[in-house]
Structure 1
């Protein structure tokens, strides 16, 4: 079973910064996902301005999903 190890924390104060940071995180994670080909990318909003982007075996390879807590 795949154990995700790639996780990027994102903390921002503006929408513009959020868009830039999320795009950069997704691009970095895409490279890692291509190596394993077993998971997709999960973006989780924990609270306003606080997100994580991570590889997840709960998301099919090739997809990115968003989740709010």
Structure 2
């Protein structure tokens, strides 16, 4: 499941590995579309837990780049 917060920030939660992968791909695609419109920020994918992720545009990530990080 993908929920949208402001920013754009996309929260991805799922229990099934295939659903996680598909949802993360979709959230990253949505973030890429926004990044292309802005031309300034890159994408940061954060693993918040085993079934919880956040995909967001970040000024800390260079434009045209996607970085991954894990919390905890």
Which 4+ residue blocks in structure 1 deviate beyond 4 angstroms? none
In structure 2, distance between residues paired with 1:31 and 1:39: 11
Report the counterpart of residue 45 of structure 2 in structure 1: 43
Q: CA deviation at 1:14?
A: 1.1
Q: Say which structure is richer in strand.
A: 2
In structure 2, distance between residues paired with 1:9 and 1:44: 10
In structure 2, distance between residues paired with 1:20 and 1:49: 13
Structure with the bigger RCO (C-alpha within 8 Å, sep 6+) is: 1
In structure 2, distance between residues paired with 1:37 and 1:57: 11
Provide the aligned C-alpha RMSD in A. 1.1
In structure 1, distance between residues paired with 2:26 and 2:32: 10
- Unaligned segments of structure 2, at least 5 residues: 1-5
In structure 1, distance between residues paired with 2:66 and 2:16: 22
> Where in structure 2 are the equivalents of 1:15-34 lying within 5 Å?
15-34=17-36
In structure 2, distance between residues paired with 1:60 and 1:37: 10
In structure 2, distance between residues paired with 1:5 and 1:13: 25
